[in-house]
Every structure is written in structure tokens, then in C-alpha cells.
């Protein structure tokens, strides 16, 4: 089985305007940089993007916002982006804010084949408006539905032609559950290694969830908050 494609442009074939995409990453950590650049080149628009954050003005999903490719963002925190704010206030962009754990779990539910889950976050707040509430063991929970997405785009550290993936450090974040949730899942990796090189014990995402994989290039891996101490 060989799921390898040549590059990001080939990997995003079939992504059309109006589709719903999941994009992995937390802040700028573990984002699919190559595929975002390819989506900007392709110029698809009216996209609904499910991603924890919306990038910064000149990087990550911010690059797609600059080109007005995003119709709706589904995120937990969108703080670091002036263009995002401008489009939101002018009504060009819709945003649905979801508690971070609920966002992760709605992706997870999708990848586990569960249509919905009952979750605690947001009970008694405006997040609960319009949602079914059910009491279990004396506590109220909200019914939250699994996300439906056309494509999931994730970034991993290492991967092989079978689609097996290993993530690095906290760049794992939303990538594994989004990889599991895509109808079609695209993985870009820093190192595409020969099949057999990744130890089966160490694989985070089994290749069954991944449809296309490619060796990414020119990773910038920007740091949002560079904090250090002196030696």
C-alpha cells in the first residue's frame, strides 16, 4: 500500500470551495504549513475550517484569512489575529467558539464512529443554548455532536508510505484526533521514512486513518512566545 503523493499541491486535490476542513495544530505548533500554503495557491474559498486557533496575521490559517478563503472558523481561541478581528467585525467571517476539550472530543467522536457524546463543558453558560441537556448521576451534561468534515489535514513528525504517523512533543495536540476524523485525511510529515522503520509500538496514528501522505519541506515552525531563562 502506497499513499505517498509528490507534494502539497497534489495532496490537496479534490478540496473545493465550500468544503469543511479540519486543520491540526495548537497556535502555530504542529500546523500543516505546506498544505496551508498550497490551499492559498489553489485559491479555494468559502471554506469552513475546524481548527483550535486561526493562526496569526501572516502565518498559519492567517494566510488563508488574508486571501478571504475562510467563510467560517470553528475554534476555541482566536486571539492573535488582527485580520481575523477585522473580518469578524465587518461580518465577512463567521465564527463558532467551542470549549477546547469539546472541540477535541467532537473530533475524537468522529474518528471513533460515535455520532455524539455528552460533555460537561459549558453547562449553565451560553455555550449550552439550544443543546439537549441530560442528567447523569446528578450532574448535567450537554449533547455534543461529532464533527463532519470533508478533509482533515494534519502535520506529523515522521510517517511512512502506509500512512503511519508519529508526532513530536506538544506538536501532537489536535493532529491525532483530526487524522482519525477526516473523510479524507492528508498528512504532511517532516520525515517520510521507509516502511518498517517506525516501530509498531511507537505509532500514534495507524495508517488506516491516513489517505495521502507527503514529505513536507521548508518548515518555518514559528514560535509565538519565545520565553527563555539565562544559563
26-41 burial code (b ≥16 CB/10 A, e <16): bbbbbbbbbbbbbbee
4 counts as binding other proteins under rule CB under 8 A: no
Coil, helix or strand at residue 113? coil
Which position among 8, 15, 28, 166 is part of the footprint of other proteins (CB under 8 A)? 28
As a three-state string, the secondary structure of 53-94 is CCCECCECHHHHHHCCCEEEEEECCCCCCHHHHHHHHCCCCE
Q: How far is the CB of 169 from other proteins (least distance, A)?
A: 4
In angstroms, the CA 189 to CA 43 distance is 23
Interaction mask 62-81, other proteins, x per CB under 8 A: -------------xxxxx--
Interaction mask 151-170, other proteins, x per CB under 8 A: ------x---------xxxx
Nearer to other proteins, 30 or 32 (CB): 30
123 counts as binding other proteins under rule CB under 8 A: yes
For residue 209 the three cell numbers come to 486513518
Binding site for other proteins (CB under 8 A): 26-30, 52, 75-79, 85, 88-89, 97, 99-105, 107-108, 119-127, 157, 167-177, 204, 221-231
Amino acid at each position: 500500500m502506497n499513499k505517498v503523493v509528490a507534494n502539497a499541491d497534489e495532496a490537496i486535490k479534490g478540496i473545493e470551495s465550500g468544503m469543511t476542513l479540519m486543520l491540526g495544530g495548537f497556535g502555530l505548533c504542529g500546523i500543516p504549513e505546506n498544505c496551508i500554503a498550497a490551499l492559498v495557491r489553489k485559491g479555494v474559498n468559502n471554506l469552513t475550517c475546524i481548527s483550535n486557533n486561526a493562526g496569526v496575521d501572516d502565518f498559519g490559517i492567517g494566510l488563508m484569512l488574508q486571501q478571504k478563503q475562510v467563510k467560517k472558523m470553528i475554534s476555541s481561541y482566536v486571539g492573535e489575529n488582527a485580520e481575523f478581528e477585522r473580518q469578524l467585525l465587518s461580518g465577512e467571517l463567521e465564527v463558532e467558539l467551542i470549549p477546547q476539550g469539546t472541540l477535541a472530543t467532537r473530533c475524537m467522536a468522529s474518528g471513533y464512529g460515535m455520532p455524539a457524546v455528552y460533555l460537561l463543558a459549558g453547562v449553565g453558560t451560553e455555550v449550552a443554548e439550544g443543546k439537549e441537556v441530560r442528567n447523569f448521576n446528578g450532574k448535567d451534561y450537554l449533547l455534543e455532536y461529532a464533527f463532519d468534515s470533508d478533509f482533515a489535514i494534519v502535520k506529523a513528525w515522521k510517517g511512512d508510505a502506509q500512512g503511519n504517523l508519529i508526532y513530536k512533543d506538544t506538536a501532537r495536540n489536535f493532529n491525532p484526533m483530526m487524522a482519525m476524523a477526516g473523510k479524507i485525511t492528508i498528512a504532511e510529515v517532516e520525515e517520510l521514512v521507509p516502511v518498517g522503520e517506525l516501530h509498531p509500538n511507537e505509532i500514534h496514528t495507524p495508517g488506516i486513518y491516513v489517505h495521502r501522505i507527503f514529505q513536507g519541506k521548508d518548515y518555518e515552525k514559528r514560535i509565538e512566545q519565545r520565553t527563555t531563562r539565562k544559563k
